[in-house]
Amino acid sequence: MDTPDTLNYMLAGYIVFSVTFFGYLVYLWRRWRGLQAEEQNLKEIEANE
Amino acid sequence: MSTQPRALIVLNVVSVILLAAAYYASLVYAPLEAVMGQVQRLFYFHVATAWVGMIGFVLAAVAGIAYLWKKDLKWDAISLAAVEISLIFFFIAIVLGSIWARPIWGTWWTWEPRLTTAAILQMIYLAYLLLRQGIEDPEKRARFGAIYTLLGGISVPLTFVSIRIFRSIHPVVIGAGGAEAQGSFSMAPVMVQVMLFSIFAFSVIFVTLFWHRMRLGSLESRVEQLKLKVMQ
């Protein structure tokens, strides 16, 4: 039996996985950094009051 | 900034190693399936991401019960973290399934029982995230979330058993599939090993992400409290 050439579909699947997964990691990291900066700002405002 | 606990740092390292090993196992170590070709390699990540997705939705429902019982907001934070991560994994599982289906079924999508219940499951939990945002009061939001995840949790076993109780073209991995199933294959022992390893790897990755997401949630609530203090 001839095995069909489905390599492109396999590659597409792993690219989708990698982009979504690592994209989510970057999203979490950016959210974390943003919240940290906000916390720092608020602490400074609180200390100045 | 609060530094990461040592156990979380260890989990980070273990997760990276397991993810790299899962890539290697599914792309290189697993044998080529003769009937479907390379696309069958999506199977390992497809099953593993669907597995952790469903586990997360179940965890959210359990945390919902715990909130209704204890009225402690930490259970709401657990529910939210579990749903958010599960949505990512379940989305990946659906897309990988769709890509796999194209050369095997001849279509990207068909409204058969497994795909339909999986799509509904994803929509239910997307709606959960959106609806939560409309509720200001944390107690009310947590109560709503708890009841929602509890009711939404019903769709998890329904999605799991859909291919066993309805006529479906989706193959069954564990147990016998229906006569209409297309894309079934007999798993060589190495394929079973890779599948089980992928499920294990993604379970550990889920725990790591969950821990990070919980830390993010507590930072968010600290910032909220600070905001309220500054505004007063």
Express each pLDDT in B28-64 by its tens digit: 999 999 889 999 999 999 999 999 999 999 999 999 9
Residue B183 has pLDDT above 70, yes or no: no
Residues of chain B with pLDDT > 90, as a percent, come to: 74
Note the ipTM here: 0.92
Which one is predicted more confidently, B163 or B94? Answer: B94
Is residue B88 in some structural domain? Answer: yes
Is residue B225 in some structural domain? Answer: yes
Confidence at residue B197, expressed as pLDDT on a 0 to 100 scale = 97
Confidence at residue A3, expressed as pLDDT on a 0 to 100 scale = 84
Residue B16 pLDDT class (50, 70, 90 cuts): very high
Residues 2-21 of A with CB under 8 A from B: 3-7, 9-10, 12-14, 16-17, 20-21
Q: What tokens appear for A42 in the block?
A: 């608020």
**A32 with B216: Cβ contact below 8 A:** yes
How many domains is chain B partitioned into structurally?
Answer: 1
Closest in B36, B49, B212 to A28, CB measured: B212
Residue B2 has pLDDT above 90, yes or no: no
pLDDT tens-digit series, residues A1-41: 688 899 999 999 999 999 999 999 999 999 999 999 999 99
Is residue A11 in some structural domain? Answer: no
Is residue B36 within 8 angstroms of chain A, CB to CB?
Answer: yes
Is residue B30 in some structural domain? Answer: no
- The DSSP code for B38 is G
Q: Which residue of A has its CA nearest to B227?
A: A42
Is residue A4 in some structural domain? Answer: no
**B92 with A17: Cβ contact below 8 A:** yes
Stated pTM of the model: 0.92
Cα–Cα distance, B40 to B177 (Å, whole number): 17
Residue B21 has pLDDT above 60, yes or no: yes
Closest in B1, B88, B209 to A20, CB measured: B88
Cα–Cα distance, B53 to B159 (Å, whole number): 12
The parent domain of residue A42 ranges over 21-49
With contact defined as beta carbons under 8 Å apart, do B50 and B93 qualify? yes
Average pLDDT over residues B206-221: 96
pLDDT tens-digit series, residues B114-167: 899 999 999 999 999 999 999 989 899 999 999 999 999 998 988 888 877 777
Which one is predicted more confidently, B151 or B2? Answer: B151
**A6 with B212: Cβ contact below 8 A:** no
Q: Report the 10 Å Cβ neighbour count for B163.
A: 24
Torsion angle in degrees (nearest 10) through CA of B162, B193, B208, B157? 10
Is residue B17 in some structural domain? Answer: no
Is residue B59 in some structural domain? Answer: yes
Average pLDDT, chain B: 91
Confidence at residue B172, expressed as pLDDT on a 0 to 100 scale = 76
Dihedral sign for Cα atoms in the order B128, A12, B11, B219: negative
Confidence at residue B181, expressed as pLDDT on a 0 to 100 scale = 62
Q: DSSP of B125-147, one letter per residue?
A: HHHHHHHHHT--SHHHHHHHHHH
Residues 181-210 of B with CB under 8 A from A: 209
How many domains is chain A partitioned into structurally?
Answer: 1
Confidence at residue B1, expressed as pLDDT on a 0 to 100 scale = 45
**B216 with A17: Cβ contact below 8 A:** no
Residue B232 has pLDDT above 90, yes or no: no
Is residue B133 in some structural domain? Answer: yes
Is residue A9 in some structural domain? Answer: no
Cα–Cα distance, B112 to B121 (Å, whole number): 14
Picking from B26, B27, B41 by the largest number of A CB atoms within 10 A of its own CB, the best residue to mutate is B41
With contact defined as beta carbons under 8 Å apart, do B100 and B119 qualify? no
Which one is predicted more confidently, B182 or B158? Answer: B158
Residue B82 pLDDT class (50, 70, 90 cuts): very high
**B37 with A35: Cβ contact below 8 A:** no
Is residue A14 in some structural domain? Answer: no
Closest in A5, A13, A21 to B42, CB measured: A13
The parent domain of residue B207 ranges over 44-231
Residue B158: is it exposed, middle or buried by C-beta count within 10 angstroms (0-12/13-18/19+)? middle
